[in-house]
Protein backbone atom coordinates (compact mmCIF):
# COMPACT_ATOMS: atom_id res chain seq x y z
CA UNK A 1 0.00 0.00 0.00
CA UNK A 2 1.39 3.39 -0.99
CA UNK A 3 0.72 6.21 1.44
CA UNK A 4 0.26 9.67 0.04
CA UNK A 5 2.41 12.46 1.38
CA UNK A 6 0.63 15.21 3.32
CA UNK A 7 1.00 17.60 0.40
CA UNK A 8 -0.97 15.29 -1.93
CA UNK A 9 -3.84 15.15 0.57
CA UNK A 10 -4.48 18.90 0.43
CA UNK A 11 -7.68 19.67 -1.40
CA UNK A 12 -6.91 21.57 -4.61
CA UNK A 13 -9.81 23.96 -4.06
CA UNK A 14 -8.68 24.66 -0.50
CA UNK A 15 -5.16 25.39 -1.67
CA UNK A 16 -6.55 27.72 -4.30
CA UNK A 17 -8.72 29.41 -1.68
CA UNK A 18 -5.73 30.28 0.50
CA UNK A 19 -3.78 31.49 -2.49
CA UNK A 20 -6.54 33.69 -3.83
CA UNK A 21 -7.48 35.31 -0.52
CA UNK A 22 -4.01 36.79 -0.18
CA UNK A 23 -4.06 38.04 -3.75
CA UNK A 24 -7.24 40.11 -3.44
CA UNK A 25 -6.66 43.82 -3.09
CA UNK A 26 -9.58 44.83 -0.86
CA UNK A 27 -11.91 43.49 1.87
CA UNK A 28 -14.83 43.77 -0.56
CA UNK A 29 -13.13 41.48 -3.10
CA UNK A 30 -12.45 38.89 -0.37
CA UNK A 31 -16.02 39.10 0.92
CA UNK A 32 -17.46 38.69 -2.56
CA UNK A 33 -15.22 35.70 -3.19
CA UNK A 34 -16.22 34.02 0.09
CA UNK A 35 -19.92 34.75 -0.43
CA UNK A 36 -19.85 33.17 -3.87
CA UNK A 37 -17.57 30.29 -2.87
CA UNK A 38 -19.39 29.37 0.35
CA UNK A 39 -22.91 30.53 -0.61
CA UNK A 40 -23.23 32.72 2.50
CA UNK A 41 -24.03 36.30 3.47
CA UNK A 42 -21.52 38.63 5.15
CA UNK A 43 -23.61 41.79 5.31
CA UNK A 44 -23.24 42.40 9.05
CA UNK A 45 -19.52 41.66 9.03
CA UNK A 46 -19.18 44.29 6.32
CA UNK A 47 -21.21 46.88 8.25
CA UNK A 48 -19.26 46.30 11.44
CA UNK A 49 -16.02 47.53 9.86
CA UNK A 50 -15.66 51.21 10.81
CA UNK A 51 -11.91 51.52 10.31
CA UNK A 52 -9.99 52.18 7.13
CA UNK A 53 -7.99 49.16 5.98
CA UNK A 54 -4.71 51.10 6.11
CA UNK A 55 -5.23 51.68 9.83
CA UNK A 56 -5.64 47.98 10.63
CA UNK A 57 -3.09 45.25 11.28
CA UNK A 58 -5.09 42.25 10.07
CA UNK A 59 -4.21 40.16 7.04
CA UNK A 60 -6.84 38.92 4.53
CA UNK A 61 -9.25 41.49 5.97
CA UNK A 62 -12.94 40.95 5.17
CA UNK A 63 -14.69 43.06 7.82
CA UNK A 64 -15.17 43.07 11.58
CA UNK A 65 -17.15 41.39 14.34
CA UNK A 66 -18.83 43.07 17.29
CA UNK A 67 -18.83 42.27 20.99
CA UNK A 68 -21.59 43.75 23.14
CA UNK A 69 -20.21 46.56 25.30
CA UNK A 70 -21.52 47.24 28.79
CA UNK A 71 -20.40 49.79 31.35
CA UNK A 72 -19.99 49.30 35.09
CA UNK A 73 -19.45 51.95 37.73
CA UNK A 74 -18.83 54.38 39.15
CA UNK A 75 -15.83 52.82 40.86
CA UNK A 76 -14.05 54.99 43.42
CA UNK A 77 -10.28 54.47 43.51
CA UNK A 78 -7.43 56.04 45.44
CA UNK A 79 -3.71 55.51 44.94
CA UNK A 80 -0.41 57.00 46.03
CA UNK A 81 0.27 58.22 42.50
CA UNK A 82 -3.23 59.47 41.65
CA UNK A 83 -5.85 61.46 43.50
CA UNK A 84 -9.15 59.91 44.55
CA UNK A 85 -11.24 59.50 41.43
CA UNK A 86 -14.36 57.68 40.25
CA UNK A 87 -14.21 55.71 37.02
CA UNK A 88 -16.70 54.13 34.65
CA UNK A 89 -15.59 50.77 33.29
CA UNK A 90 -16.23 49.53 29.70
CA UNK A 91 -16.51 45.73 29.47
CA UNK A 92 -16.94 43.87 26.16
CA UNK A 93 -18.42 40.41 26.66
CA UNK A 94 -21.01 37.90 25.50
CA UNK A 95 -21.42 36.51 29.02
CA UNK A 96 -24.64 37.50 30.71
CA UNK A 97 -24.34 38.61 34.36
CA UNK A 98 -20.66 39.63 34.12
CA UNK A 99 -21.24 43.37 33.77
CA UNK A 100 -24.00 43.26 36.39
CA UNK A 101 -21.69 41.42 38.77
CA UNK A 102 -18.79 43.85 38.31
CA UNK A 103 -21.24 46.73 38.68
CA UNK A 104 -22.40 45.36 42.03
CA UNK A 105 -18.78 45.02 43.14
CA UNK A 106 -18.12 48.63 42.09
CA UNK A 107 -21.10 49.74 44.18
CA UNK A 108 -19.89 47.80 47.22
CA UNK A 109 -16.40 49.32 46.92
CA UNK A 110 -17.63 52.88 46.35
CA UNK A 111 -20.10 52.76 49.25
CA UNK A 112 -17.22 51.52 51.43
CA UNK A 113 -15.17 54.64 50.70
CA UNK A 114 -13.33 53.34 47.64
CA UNK A 115 -10.51 50.94 46.89
CA UNK A 116 -6.85 51.71 47.47
CA UNK A 117 -4.71 50.52 44.55
CA UNK A 118 -1.01 50.47 43.80
CA UNK A 119 1.05 49.55 40.75
CA UNK A 120 4.70 49.01 39.89
CA UNK A 121 6.10 48.96 36.36
CA UNK A 122 8.12 45.81 35.64
CA UNK A 123 8.38 46.21 31.88
CA UNK A 124 7.80 44.17 28.77
CA UNK A 125 10.08 41.15 28.49
CA UNK A 126 11.58 39.18 25.63
CA UNK A 127 13.58 36.04 26.35
CA UNK A 128 15.76 34.54 23.62
CA UNK A 129 17.56 31.21 23.90
CA UNK A 130 21.20 30.84 22.86
CA UNK A 131 23.20 27.71 22.06
CA UNK A 132 26.56 27.94 23.83
CA UNK A 133 27.90 24.49 22.97
CA UNK A 134 29.11 23.65 26.47
CA UNK A 135 28.85 24.55 30.14
CA UNK A 136 32.28 26.20 29.85
CA UNK A 137 31.04 28.46 27.04
CA UNK A 138 27.88 29.12 29.08
CA UNK A 139 30.03 30.54 31.87
CA UNK A 140 31.89 32.69 29.34
CA UNK A 141 28.55 33.89 27.97
CA UNK A 142 27.32 34.78 31.47
CA UNK A 143 30.43 36.82 32.20
CA UNK A 144 30.33 38.54 28.81
CA UNK A 145 26.74 39.71 29.38
CA UNK A 146 27.63 41.04 32.83
CA UNK A 147 30.65 42.91 31.50
CA UNK A 148 28.76 44.43 28.56
CA UNK A 149 25.41 45.37 30.12
CA UNK A 150 25.94 49.08 29.33
CA UNK A 151 26.57 48.28 25.68
CA UNK A 152 23.46 46.07 25.60
CA UNK A 153 21.38 48.95 26.96
CA UNK A 154 22.82 51.34 24.38
CA UNK A 155 22.00 49.02 21.48
CA UNK A 156 18.47 48.39 22.75
CA UNK A 157 17.66 52.06 23.27
CA UNK A 158 18.93 52.96 19.81
CA UNK A 159 15.83 51.25 18.37
CA UNK A 160 13.27 53.64 19.89
CA UNK A 161 13.19 56.93 21.77
CA UNK A 162 10.24 55.52 23.74
CA UNK A 163 12.12 52.48 25.05
CA UNK A 164 14.44 52.18 28.03
CA UNK A 165 16.46 49.07 28.82
CA UNK A 166 15.93 48.06 32.47
CA UNK A 167 17.79 44.82 33.21
CA UNK A 168 18.25 41.19 32.23
CA UNK A 169 18.09 37.77 33.90
CA UNK A 170 20.03 34.75 32.68
CA UNK A 171 19.63 31.02 33.33
CA UNK A 172 21.76 28.27 31.80
CA UNK A 173 21.12 24.57 31.48
CA UNK A 174 23.51 22.19 29.70
CA UNK A 175 24.55 24.02 26.52
CA UNK A 176 21.59 26.43 26.41
CA UNK A 177 21.46 29.96 27.82
CA UNK A 178 18.16 31.75 28.39
CA UNK A 179 18.22 35.52 28.76
CA UNK A 180 15.20 37.59 29.83
CA UNK A 181 15.47 41.26 28.84
CA UNK A 182 13.21 43.84 30.53
CA UNK A 183 12.16 47.11 28.88
CA UNK A 184 10.23 50.19 29.95
CA UNK A 185 8.01 50.93 26.95
CA UNK A 186 6.19 53.90 28.50
CA UNK A 187 2.46 53.94 27.65
CA UNK A 188 2.63 51.19 25.02
CA UNK A 189 2.16 47.56 26.01
CA UNK A 190 5.43 47.23 24.16
CA UNK A 191 5.95 43.70 22.85
CA UNK A 192 6.78 44.89 19.32
CA UNK A 193 9.26 47.40 20.72
CA UNK A 194 10.78 44.74 22.99
CA UNK A 195 11.10 42.30 20.09
CA UNK A 196 12.81 44.82 17.81
CA UNK A 197 15.21 45.89 20.58
CA UNK A 198 16.02 42.27 21.44
CA UNK A 199 16.76 41.47 17.81
CA UNK A 200 19.38 44.23 17.74
CA UNK A 201 20.88 42.93 20.99
CA UNK A 202 21.04 39.42 19.53
CA UNK A 203 22.83 40.65 16.43
CA UNK A 204 25.43 42.38 18.58
CA UNK A 205 25.87 39.35 20.86
CA UNK A 206 26.29 36.93 17.95
CA UNK A 207 28.85 39.22 16.31
CA UNK A 208 30.87 39.75 19.49
CA UNK A 209 30.70 36.27 21.07
CA UNK A 210 30.09 33.96 18.07
CA UNK A 211 27.36 32.31 20.17
CA UNK A 212 24.25 31.58 18.14
CA UNK A 213 20.73 32.59 19.11
CA UNK A 214 18.37 29.70 18.40
CA UNK A 215 15.18 31.72 18.86
CA UNK A 216 14.36 35.27 19.81
CA UNK A 217 11.49 33.83 21.87
CA UNK A 218 12.72 30.94 24.00
CA UNK A 219 9.73 30.74 26.37
CA UNK A 220 11.78 32.51 29.02
CA UNK A 221 9.82 35.72 28.35
CA UNK A 222 7.31 34.08 29.28
CA UNK A 223 4.87 35.55 26.75
CA UNK A 224 1.18 34.58 26.59
CA UNK A 225 1.57 31.37 28.57
CA UNK A 226 0.84 30.55 32.22
CA UNK A 227 4.19 30.50 34.01
CA UNK A 228 5.47 30.86 37.55
CA UNK A 229 8.29 33.12 36.33
CA UNK A 230 5.66 35.76 35.59
CA UNK A 231 4.10 35.20 38.99
CA UNK A 232 7.42 35.50 40.84
CA UNK A 233 9.45 37.94 38.70
CA UNK A 234 6.41 39.73 37.26
CA UNK A 235 5.77 41.21 33.82
CA UNK A 236 4.32 44.42 32.44
CA UNK A 237 2.79 45.86 35.61
CA UNK A 238 2.20 44.28 38.97
CA UNK A 239 -0.79 45.72 40.79
CA UNK A 240 -2.57 45.51 44.13
CA UNK A 241 -6.03 46.55 45.25
CA UNK A 242 -7.77 46.49 48.63
CA UNK A 243 -10.94 47.61 50.36
CA UNK A 244 -12.69 47.10 53.70
CA UNK A 245 -16.39 46.28 53.27
CA UNK A 246 -18.68 47.21 56.15
CA UNK A 247 -21.26 44.83 57.59
CA UNK A 248 -23.98 47.09 56.17
CA UNK A 249 -22.58 46.95 52.63
CA UNK A 250 -22.11 43.19 52.86
CA UNK A 251 -25.69 42.76 54.02
CA UNK A 252 -27.48 45.32 51.83
CA UNK A 253 -25.42 45.27 48.60
CA UNK A 254 -23.90 41.80 48.56
CA UNK A 255 -26.81 40.06 50.34
CA UNK A 256 -24.42 37.93 52.37
CA UNK A 257 -22.38 37.70 55.57
CA UNK A 258 -18.66 38.26 56.04
CA UNK A 259 -18.18 34.78 57.54
CA UNK A 260 -19.92 33.08 54.62
CA UNK A 261 -17.87 34.93 52.00
CA UNK A 262 -14.68 34.10 53.90
CA UNK A 263 -15.53 30.38 54.01
CA UNK A 264 -16.20 30.27 50.27
CA UNK A 265 -12.96 32.16 49.55
CA UNK A 266 -10.92 29.76 51.72
CA UNK A 267 -12.42 26.62 50.20
CA UNK A 268 -12.39 27.90 46.61
CA UNK A 269 -9.49 30.29 46.06
CA UNK A 270 -7.01 28.72 48.47
CA UNK A 271 -7.72 25.02 48.98
CA UNK A 272 -9.52 24.44 45.68
CA UNK A 273 -6.74 26.14 43.73
CA UNK A 274 -4.12 24.06 45.54
CA UNK A 275 -6.05 20.85 44.91
CA UNK A 276 -6.27 21.58 41.20
CA UNK A 277 -2.69 22.81 40.80
CA UNK A 278 -3.91 26.19 39.62
CA UNK A 279 -1.51 29.06 38.88
CA UNK A 280 -4.21 31.50 39.94
CA UNK A 281 -5.51 31.61 43.51
CA UNK A 282 -8.52 33.71 42.58
CA UNK A 283 -12.16 33.46 41.56
CA UNK A 284 -12.18 34.80 38.00
CA UNK A 285 -9.50 37.38 37.23
CA UNK A 286 -9.48 36.28 33.58
CA UNK A 287 -13.20 36.93 33.18
CA UNK A 288 -12.91 40.59 34.08
CA UNK A 289 -9.56 41.16 32.38
CA UNK A 290 -10.76 39.62 29.10
CA UNK A 291 -13.80 41.90 29.00
CA UNK A 292 -11.70 44.96 29.86
CA UNK A 293 -9.01 44.03 27.31
CA UNK A 294 -11.56 43.42 24.55
CA UNK A 295 -13.20 46.76 25.23
CA UNK A 296 -10.00 48.83 25.33
CA UNK A 297 -8.00 47.25 22.49
CA UNK A 298 -5.44 45.24 24.46
CA UNK A 299 -3.81 42.07 23.12
CA UNK A 300 -6.30 39.40 24.19
CA UNK A 301 -3.67 36.67 24.50
CA UNK A 302 -2.21 38.52 27.49
CA UNK A 303 -5.30 37.55 29.46
CA UNK A 304 -3.16 34.47 30.23
CA UNK A 305 -0.75 36.52 32.34
CA UNK A 306 -3.66 38.44 33.82
CA UNK A 307 -5.29 35.24 35.07
CA UNK A 308 -2.39 34.78 37.50
CA UNK A 309 -2.82 36.28 40.92
CA UNK A 310 -4.16 35.95 44.44
CA UNK A 311 -7.32 37.10 46.18
CA UNK A 312 -7.13 37.53 49.95
CA UNK A 313 -10.15 37.78 52.27
CA UNK A 314 -10.13 38.36 56.04
CA UNK A 315 -12.96 38.83 58.55
CA UNK A 316 -12.10 41.72 60.87
CA UNK A 317 -12.99 41.95 64.57
CA UNK A 318 -15.81 44.43 63.95
CA UNK A 319 -17.48 42.10 61.45
CA UNK A 320 -16.32 43.97 58.36
CA UNK A 321 -14.46 42.23 55.53
CA UNK A 322 -10.98 42.97 54.22
CA UNK A 323 -10.68 42.18 50.49
CA UNK A 324 -7.49 42.36 48.44
CA UNK A 325 -6.21 41.29 45.02
CA UNK A 326 -2.67 40.95 43.69
CA UNK A 327 -2.02 40.82 39.94
CA UNK A 328 1.65 40.04 39.20
CA UNK A 329 1.67 40.38 35.40
CA UNK A 330 -0.56 42.87 33.59
CA UNK A 331 0.44 43.52 29.98
CA UNK A 332 -1.49 46.56 28.76
CA UNK A 333 -1.12 50.04 27.30
CA UNK A 334 -2.93 53.19 26.25
CA UNK A 335 -1.16 53.68 22.92
CA UNK A 336 -0.22 51.41 20.03
CA UNK A 337 -1.69 48.13 18.83
CA UNK A 338 -5.44 47.71 19.09
CA UNK A 339 -5.81 50.85 21.23
CA UNK A 340 -5.56 52.84 18.00
CA UNK A 341 -8.90 51.54 16.73
CA UNK A 342 -11.66 54.15 16.88
CA UNK A 343 -14.06 52.07 18.97
CA UNK A 344 -11.29 51.16 21.41
CA UNK A 345 -10.29 54.81 21.74
CA UNK A 346 -13.88 55.66 22.62
CA UNK A 347 -13.91 52.91 25.25
CA UNK A 348 -10.62 54.21 26.66
CA UNK A 349 -12.19 57.68 26.80
CA UNK A 350 -14.91 56.22 29.06
CA UNK A 351 -12.19 55.16 31.50
CA UNK A 352 -10.32 58.43 31.12
CA UNK A 353 -6.94 56.99 32.16
CA UNK A 354 -4.12 59.24 30.93
CA UNK A 355 -1.31 56.69 31.22
CA UNK A 356 -0.80 52.94 31.09
CA UNK A 357 0.06 53.04 34.79
CA UNK A 358 -3.30 54.65 35.60
CA UNK A 359 -5.06 52.11 33.37
CA UNK A 360 -3.39 49.27 35.31
CA UNK A 361 -4.51 50.82 38.59
CA UNK A 362 -8.08 51.07 37.35
CA UNK A 363 -7.99 47.45 36.22
CA UNK A 364 -6.80 46.35 39.67
CA UNK A 365 -9.88 48.02 41.12
CA UNK A 366 -12.17 46.41 38.54
CA UNK A 367 -10.75 42.95 39.22
CA UNK A 368 -11.28 43.57 42.94
CA UNK A 369 -14.93 44.45 42.23
CA UNK A 370 -15.37 41.26 40.21
CA UNK A 371 -13.89 39.09 42.94
CA UNK A 372 -16.09 40.65 45.63
CA UNK A 373 -19.31 40.17 43.72
CA UNK A 374 -18.67 36.62 42.54
CA UNK A 375 -17.59 35.32 45.94
CA UNK A 376 -20.64 36.96 47.51
CA UNK A 377 -22.88 35.35 44.90
CA UNK A 378 -21.33 31.96 45.54
CA UNK A 379 -21.77 32.41 49.29
CA UNK A 380 -25.39 33.41 48.74
CA UNK A 381 -25.96 30.51 46.35
CA UNK A 382 -27.36 32.68 43.56
CA UNK A 383 -24.84 32.10 40.75
CA UNK A 384 -26.99 29.65 38.79
CA UNK A 385 -30.14 31.70 39.33
CA UNK A 386 -28.51 34.90 38.06
CA UNK A 387 -27.09 33.21 34.97
CA UNK A 388 -30.44 31.60 34.27
CA UNK A 389 -32.02 35.07 34.33
CA UNK A 390 -29.31 37.07 32.57
CA UNK A 391 -27.73 34.50 30.25
CA UNK A 392 -24.92 31.99 30.27
Is there a contact between 252 and 330 (Cβ–Cβ < 8 Å)?
no
CB neighbours of 31 closer than 8 A, spacing ≥ 6? Answer: 42, 45, 46, 62, 63
Query: How far is 49 from 31, CA to CA, in rounded Å?
Result: 12
Is there a contact between 286 and 212 (Cβ–Cβ < 8 Å)?
no
In angstroms, the Cα distances linking 74 to 120, 204, 340, 350, 387 are: 24, 50, 25, 11, 23
Query: How far is 336 from 276, CA to CA, in rounded Å?
Result: 37
Q: What Rg, from alpha-carbon coordinates, does the chain have?
A: 24
162 is catalytic: no
Catalytic residue among 95, 157, 169, 184: 95
In angstroms, the Cα distances linking 132 to 31, 201, 205, 261 are: 50, 16, 12, 53
95 is catalytic: yes
Catalytic residue among 32, 175, 299, 380: 299
29 is catalytic: no
Is there a contact between 160 and 217 (Cβ–Cβ < 8 Å)?
no
Query: How far is 245 from 372, CA to CA, in rounded Å?
Result: 9
Residues belonging to the active site:
95, 299, 387
Amino acid sequence: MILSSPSTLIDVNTSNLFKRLSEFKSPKERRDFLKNKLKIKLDLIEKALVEKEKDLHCENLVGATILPLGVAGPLKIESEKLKVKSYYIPLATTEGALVASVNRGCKAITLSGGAYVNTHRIGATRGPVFYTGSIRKGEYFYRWLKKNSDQIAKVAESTSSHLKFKKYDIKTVADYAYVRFYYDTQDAMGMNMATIATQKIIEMIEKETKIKCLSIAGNFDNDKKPAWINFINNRGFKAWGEVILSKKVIREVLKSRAEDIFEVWLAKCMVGSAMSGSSGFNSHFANVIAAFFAATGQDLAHVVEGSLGITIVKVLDNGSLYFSVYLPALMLGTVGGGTQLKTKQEALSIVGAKTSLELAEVLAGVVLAGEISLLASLAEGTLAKVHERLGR
